[in-house]
């Protein structure tokens, strides 16, 4: 409890100085001399949790409640064709930090065909020691790295952030969706660096009834505090800011609760929007906005099955989280770097969360590892306005171990379709509520490899009108896509799957630091089993 209080006091100090600042006022004084290390700009990746493409005002949310993100887009570059690497949190995050598809970096399962897998606390695996994470390479140029928020690449000691390149961490290894009472399964711990500070629903409250929690405030303060410290020390930094307020159970702090037209989910979005705005304001206040590259995106599409109260919007796109339709994998994405990225641009480049790996390295003046296949592309030519440099790159839509679909240009070919099983669907788990495209949103795993279902995403972003197989267009396009897919498949070497085994003994019973807090729980006997991934 002492640690939490000390931490919160530090945070409160930042807070009160924050409240002294008038938002969007012009601030001319900088706390430290401006870093003009153009070859090593600071890098901030803001990764939201289950936030959908359609949750931003600038992307058509009817409530238009994201003024700071909309301003960020107006000052930066918007990517309407930006994709995650997987429609689920853990693999998506592993892909971001490795620049590689989950099927390469091991964040998938072979327990079932085309199943989404992640890192619940009974998972045995985590990020493989053979993978190289972004902050590990950034170190070579003196970058100090911090993750704030959700990790989700494994919670056993060897998998935690400080063992994988990060210098600092404030957040949790797993999701906050439960358990809520440590009696049967341990509540998820919240870490400060390599030791736990407390647990969700204990020291770190989320009121399940009202949705009230100060976690986003804490993540904001932790981020700002880190930025200030590195700026004062004149060290280049990498901040991976990963709040999770928009993942069910969604939460917001008191000033935001009840403010949104959209209910509690909207409250959470408003607080995140405000926090993004606050971080950008601090960059300006510190005089480092021209030396800091900021990228905002989300880990996967909105979790429509939690709708309407705890789900976001995927705008005009089909289905949501867990699926390889556009709603599951197309993400809001904004790049911001005043003085470098032209304000108010919209870039239609097909881009991926995996691109943030080589792009960040390129910005830092570093080379990506040359001993492994990388799926990300360096976006700096696009960001710095050398168009068409990465013109014809494909987007691969994986679900677990299966390549479900491919996008090239405006065309998307589905090789497999599946929303979820009829059995699950009949229990009320619906990844496509109110949507049903015959032969597309199938409830059995349907193979189309001999005759893929083809959509033109320009004319038909909602994947509602398959292109006729007998058309000239279909034949022509497929002859362009097929060799790309064949090439990809024939050269792909899958990594060792890390998400196959589960065990109650590996749960967060006694995380490092629990002794000091008197919060260690008894570890049960090991009883490993093959994890069950229902969808």
Tally Cβ neighbours within 10 Å of residue 17: 13
Q: How far apart are CA 335 and CA 116, in angstroms?
A: 28
Indicate whether 465 belongs to the interface with its own copies (CB under 8 A): yes
Nearer to its own copies, 171 or 461 (CB): 461
Shortest distance, CB of residue 370 to its own copies, whole angstroms? Answer: 35
Q: Cα dihedral sign for 498, 501, 507, 513?
A: negative
Residue span binding its own copies (CB under 8 A) among the ranges 37-45, 101-109, 356-364, 427-435 = 427-435
The single residue among 202, 212, 424, 460 that binds its own copies, judged by CB under 8 A, is 460
User: Known binder of ligand: residue 89?
Assistant: yes
Tally Cβ neighbours within 10 Å of residue 533: 18
Residue span binding its own copies (CB under 8 A) among the ranges 278-286, 436-444, 484-492, 512-520 = 436-444
Nearer to its own copies, 105 or 442 (CB): 442
Across the strands, what pairs with 412? 407, 455
Indicate whether 358 belongs to the interface with its own copies (CB under 8 A): no
CA dihedral 200, 118, 159, 372 (to 10 degrees): -150
DSSP string of 441-473? S-SS-EE-TTS-EEEETTT-TT--SPPPTTSHH
**Cβ–Cβ under 8 Å, residues 279 and 228:** no
Shortest distance, CB of residue 24 to its own copies, whole angstroms? Answer: 13
Nearer to its own copies, 3 or 390 (CB): 390
Based on the residue annotation, tell me whether 432 is a catalytic residue of this protein: no
What is the β-pairing status of strands 168-172 and 144-150?
A: parallel
Q: In the block, which residue shows the tokens 């964040």?
A: 107
Based on the residue annotation, tell me whether 89 is a catalytic residue of this protein: yes
Query: Of 446, 484, 421, which Cα lies nearest the Cα of 116?
Result: 421
Token duo for residue 430: 């619906």
The single residue among 6, 12, 21, 64 that binds its own copies, judged by CB under 8 A, is 64
Token duo for residue 520: 């260690």
- The one catalytic residue in 28, 29, 152, 386 is 152
Nearer to its own copies, 54 or 149 (CB): 54
Q: What is the footprint of its own copies within residues 257-286 (CB under 8 A)?
A: 260-263, 265-266
Shortest distance, CB of residue 446 to its own copies, whole angstroms? Answer: 16
Q: Would you give the DSSP letter of residue 348? A: -
Indicate whether 381 belongs to the interface with its own copies (CB under 8 A): no
Binding residue numbers for Ca(2+) = 49-50, 89, 299-300
Q: Which residues are catalytic?
A: 89, 152
Residues forming contacts to its own copies in the complex (CB under 8 A) are 54, 57-64, 78, 80-81, 260-263, 265-266, 307-309, 313, 315-316, 318, 346, 348, 410, 433-437, 440, 456-465
């Amino acid at each position: 409890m002492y640690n939490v209080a000390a931490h919160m006091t530090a945070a409160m100090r930042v807070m009160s100085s924050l409240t002294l600042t008038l938002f969007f006022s012009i601030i001319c004084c900088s706390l430290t001399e401006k870093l003009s290390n153009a070859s090593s700009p600071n890098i901030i990746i803001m990764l939201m949790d289950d936030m959908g493409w359609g949750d931003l005002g600038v992307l058509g949310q009817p409530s238009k409640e994201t003024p700071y993100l909309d301003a960020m887009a107006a000052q930066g570059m918007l990517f309407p064709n930006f994709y995650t690497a997987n429609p689920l949190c853990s693999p998506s995050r592993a892909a971001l930090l490795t620049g590689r598809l989950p099927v390469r970096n091991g964040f998938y399962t072979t327990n079932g065909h085309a199943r989404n897998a992640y890192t619940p606390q009974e998972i045995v695996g985590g990020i493989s020691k053979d993978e190289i994470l972004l902050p590990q390479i950034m170190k070579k140029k003196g970058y100090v790295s911090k993750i704030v928020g959700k990790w989700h690449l494994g919670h056993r000691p060897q998998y935690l952030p400080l063992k994988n390149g990060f210098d600092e961490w404030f957040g949790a290894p797993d999701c906050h969706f439960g358990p809520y009472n440590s009696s049967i399964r341990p509540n998820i711990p919240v870490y400060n660096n390599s030791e736990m500070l407390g647990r969700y629903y204990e020291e770190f409250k989320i009121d399940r009834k009202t949705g009230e929690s100060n976690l986003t405030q804490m993540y904001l303060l932790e981020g700002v505090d880190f930025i200030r410290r590195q700026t004062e020390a004149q060290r280049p930094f990498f901040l991976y800011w990963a709040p999770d307020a928009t993942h069910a159970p969604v939460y917001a702090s008191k000033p935001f609760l009840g403010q949104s037209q959209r209910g509690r989910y909207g409250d959470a979005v408003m607080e995140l929007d405000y926090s993004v705005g606050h971080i950008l304001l601090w960059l300006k206040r510190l005089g480092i906005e021209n030396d800091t590259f900021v990228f905002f995106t989300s880990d996967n599409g909105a979790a429509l099955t939690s709708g309407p109260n705890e789900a976001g919007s995927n705008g005009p796109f089909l289905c949501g989280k867990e699926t390889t339709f556009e709603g599951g994998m197309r993400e809001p994405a904004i790049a911001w770097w005043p003085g470098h990225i032209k304000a108010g641009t919209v870039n239609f480049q097909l881009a991926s969360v995996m691109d943030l790996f080589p792009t960040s390295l390129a910005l830092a003046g570093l080379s990506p590892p040359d001993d492994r296949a990388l799926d990300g592309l360096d976006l700096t030519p696009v960001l710095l306005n050398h168009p068409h440099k990465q013109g014809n790159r494909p987007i691969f839509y994986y679900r677990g171990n299966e390549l479900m679909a491919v996008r090239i240009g405006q065309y998307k070919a589905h090789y497999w379709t599946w929303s979820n099983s009829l059995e699950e669907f009949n229990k009320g788990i619906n990844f496509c509520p109110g949507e049903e495209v015959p032969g597309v949103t199938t409830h059995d795993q349907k193979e189309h490899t001999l005759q893929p279902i083809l959509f033109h995403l320009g004319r038909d972003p909602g994947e509602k009108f398959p292109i006729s197989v007998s058309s000239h267009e279909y034949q022509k396009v497929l002859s362009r896509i097929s060799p790309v897919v064949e090439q990809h498949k024939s050269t792909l070497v899958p990594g060792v799957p890390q998400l196959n085994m589960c065990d109650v003994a590996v749960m967060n019973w006694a995380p490092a630091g629990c002794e000091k807090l008197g919060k260690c729980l008894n570890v049960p006997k090991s009883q490993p089993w093959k994890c069950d991934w229902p969808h």
